[in-house]
């Protein structure tokens, strides 16, 4: 038996996430499974990012997007406080993720529900489905043209008014959340295959193995990974497991 809990990675304010049913599921579990276990160790994650991101001799970012996107990139760079040449020693994927954080702050990440779940683990073991090095390594393994597609998606999405993800999460609106898994970078078939479908497939295998071995994991990952025909519930159901939404 296992429990699947869709989290939100950042929020403007701390979120009330421990409903009675969630609390009961936590109490009944004997381990916690998350994407990354050391989210609170920001310096270690930053060091991992810096190590993987380093790549000297890269061209200015404006040369890594199509000509028609360069004005939008210039606007995003000004907004974020960077210049076109500031990423000369950084892989394109890392530059894209850095720019994607424009306007965010550390407090929003600290309000993430996944961090709260880890803090509530108590004496139960926290098992990583990926870990920071593997998660960032997926981006680092992308071919350069896919990294540039990622950068292009970040630039294209920069001016989109972001709907309140926390509001959709509170409502459990999986239809709206599933739509978000087909926008931006996940609209690119190759990026989607690596960063969404492939990860879900790997996690499904890990969760299934935990169930078969008699463990009772509480699996807390981003809510998007619960959505649609390529989400964790659908993948587990196709393997013969009964998946029931309880809240």
Quick check: 52 pLDDT over 80? yes
Q: What is the pLDDT of residues 120-156, one digit of tens each?
A: 999 999 999 999 999 999 999 999 999 999 999 999 9
Mean of the per-residue pLDDT values of the chain: 92
Quick check: 165 pLDDT over 80? no
How far apart (Å, rounded) are the C-alpha atoms in residues 184 and 73? 15
DSSP 146-195: HHHHHHHHHHHHTTS----HHHHHHHT-HHHHHHHTTSGGGGSHHHHIII
List the one residue out of 147, 169, 135 whose CA is nearest residue 10: 169
In the chain, what percentage of residues exceed pLDDT 90? 76
- Neighbouring-strand partners of residue 128: 34
- Of the two residues 238 and 42, the one the predictor is more confident about is 238
Question: What pLDDT sits at residue 4?
Answer: 97
Quick check: 54 pLDDT over 70? yes
List the one residue out of 177, 147, 150 whose CA is nearest residue 165: 177
Confidence of residue 105 (pLDDT cuts 50, 70, 90): low
Provide the 3-class DSSP secondary structure of residue 61. helix
* Average pLDDT of span 160-186: 79
Question: What pLDDT sits at residue 126?
Answer: 96
Question: What pLDDT sits at residue 163?
Answer: 54
Angstrom distances, CA of residue 66 to CA of 58, 90, 156:
16, 19, 11
53: Cβ contacts below 8 Å, ≥ 6 apart: 90, 91, 93, 94, 140
The single residue listed with the structure tokens 């959709």 is 168
Q: How many CA atoms lie within 13 A of 55 on its CB side?
A: 15
How far apart (Å, rounded) are the C-alpha atoms in residues 16 and 186? 28
Angstrom distances, CA of residue 92 to CA of 18, 99, 108, 142, 194:
38, 11, 25, 10, 16
- Range of lowest pLDDT (40-49, 127-136, 154-163, 211-220): 154-163
* Average pLDDT of span 95-101: 93
């Amino acid at each position: 038996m296992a429990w699947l809990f869709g989290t939100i990675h950042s929020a403007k304010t701390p979120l009330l996430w421990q409903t009675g049913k969630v609390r009961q599921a936590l109490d009944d579990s004997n381990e916690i499974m998350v994407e990354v276990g050391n989210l609170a160790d920001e310096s270690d994650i930053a060091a991992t990012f810096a190590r993987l991101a380093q790549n000297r001799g890269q061209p200015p970012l404006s040369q890594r997007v199509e000509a028609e996107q360069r004005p939008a990139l210039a606007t995003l760079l000004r907004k974020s406080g960077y210049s076109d040449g500031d990423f000369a020693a950084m892989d394109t994927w890392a530059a894209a993720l850095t720019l994607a954080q424009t306007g965010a702050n550390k407090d929003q990440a600290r309000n993430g529900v996944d961090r709260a779940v880890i803090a509530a683990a108590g004496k139960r073991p926290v098992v990583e489905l990926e870990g920071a090095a593997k998660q960032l390594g997926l981006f680092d393994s992308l071919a350069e043209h896919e990294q540039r597609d990622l950068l292009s998606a970040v630039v294209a999405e920069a001016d989109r008014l972001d709907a309140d993800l926390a509001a959709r999460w509170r409502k459990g609106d999986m239809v709206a959340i599933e739509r978000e898994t087909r926008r931006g970078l996940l609209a690119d078939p190759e990026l989607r295959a690596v960063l969404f479908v492939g990860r879900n497939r790997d996690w499904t295998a890990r969760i299934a193995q935990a169930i078969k071995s008699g463990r009772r994991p509480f699996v807390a990952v981003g809510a998007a990974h619960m959505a649609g025909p390529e989400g964790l519930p659908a993948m587990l159901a196709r393997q013969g497991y009964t998946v029931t939404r309880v809240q």
